[in-house]
Amino acid sequence: MRNLTQNIIELIRLTSISLPADVEAALISSFEREQDGSLSKNVLGAILENIKIAREESVPLCQDTGTPNFFVRFPAKYSTIYLTRMIRIAVAEATEKAYLRPNAVDGLTGVNSGNNLGEKHFPSIHFEEIEGDTLTIDLLLKGGGCENVGRQYTLPDMSLHAGRDLDGVRKAALDAVFQAQGQGCAPGFLGIAVGGDRGTSYLASKEVFTEKVGSHHPDPDIAELEKRITLDANELMIGPMGFGGKPTILGTRITGVHRLPASFFVSISFMCWAYRRRRMTVQGEEVSYE
């Protein structure tokens, strides 16, 4: 089996230092729409300058380089044991090269491993075996701030007047944005999963972040709900970092997960402005990044 460790290190480097073009375009668009001299425009300007410096100097976009979330879609010829080994070695080496900050601490003792490796679940790796012969590895670096403001609702929720329907999903999403109040480094993005159990629902709400900004659910009614949640969230005028202004949520993506009739979970994950997402594709001898 081919050794892809160095390629995965490069995937980590690119993800850490350079935002995808679609994310940067969304931030630029928000900056251009804000009023000159406003606090929100100044904050967005500082964010855009930070993005430029990080890319030019090949340094991490944020001091919180986040939890590495790997979503691996692999053909049968690959071994998950060896893929896991390569990913873990790559994470440790990327930490040594300062593409990642050594952020991983033991949940019980608080002791830092020093290399971003935990005995279990750090980094977070999810595998899916697929047909064909193309390997894809999606990497999300998800910061602790935006992870902290994620929420999970059980509908119906009488306090929100939210029933088990799409309007209930909308009310839950807007409550989550309101409760965050710009914490988690707004402006950012929402990933929403409806259904599942508590674990699969949260996982699905993060997996949608592997898709490009501006993509929408294929069902037109769900796609319309995604757009409405974004618009309504921005009418809350929370703004960048909570300083006021419209740019609070730059995009919303919803997915559904089969559930038991007894449960109706709505899991909401936030992604901060530093929406660090990259994909590595291996086809034959060719490796590419996007």
The answer to whether residue 55 is domain-embedded is no
Q: Rounded to an integer, what distance in angstroms lies between the CA atom of residue 153 and that of residue 269?
A: 12
Contact criterion met (CB below 8 Å) for 95 and 115: yes
The answer to whether residue 218 is domain-embedded is yes
Domain count, the chain: 2
Residues 281 and 186 in one domain: no
Q: Rounded to an integer, what distance in angstroms lies between the CA atom of residue 250 and that of residue 188?
A: 6
Q: What is the pLDDT of residues 253-273, one digit of tens each?
A: 999 999 999 999 999 999 999
Residues 98 and 194 in one domain: no
Residues 176 and 209 in one domain: yes
Instruction: Report the relative pairing of strands 265-271 and 151-154 from DSSP bridges.
Output: antiparallel
Residues 176 and 241 in one domain: yes
* Alpha-carbon separation of residue 22 from 29, 216, 250, 253 (angstroms): 11, 14, 11, 15
Residues 78 and 182 in one domain: no
Expressed as residue numbers, the domain containing 138 is 5-15+61-143+276-289
The answer to whether residue 168 is domain-embedded is yes
Query: Cβ neighbours of residue 47 under 8 Å, at least 6 residues apart?
Result: 27, 240, 273
Residues 193 and 226 in one domain: yes
The answer to whether residue 53 is domain-embedded is no
> Which residues share a beta bridge with 140?
69, 277
Contact criterion met (CB below 8 Å) for 4 and 228: no
Residues 182 and 252 in one domain: yes
The answer to whether residue 243 is domain-embedded is yes
Predicted pLDDT of residue 120 = 87
Predicted pLDDT of residue 1 = 79
Residues 243 and 284 in one domain: no
Residues 177 and 282 in one domain: no
Residues 155 and 256 in one domain: yes
**Torsion angles phi and psi, residue 111, rounded to 5:** -75, 130
The answer to whether residue 203 is domain-embedded is yes
Q: What is the pLDDT of residues 26-85, one digit of tens each?
A: 999 999 999 999 999 999 999 999 999 999 999 999 999 999 999 999 999 999 999 999
Predicted pLDDT of residue 112 = 96
Pick out the chain residues at pLDDT < 50.
none
Residues 10 and 133 in one domain: yes
* Locus of tokens 């193309």: 134
Q: Provide the CATH number for the domain around residue 125.
A: 3.30.1330
For 99-159, the three-class secondary structure string (H helix, E strand, C coil) is CCCCCCECCCCCCECCCCCCCCCCCEEEEEECCCCEEEEEEEEECHHHHHCCEEEECCEHH
Contact criterion met (CB below 8 Å) for 193 and 256: yes
Residues 97 and 227 in one domain: no
The answer to whether residue 26 is domain-embedded is no
The answer to whether residue 138 is domain-embedded is yes
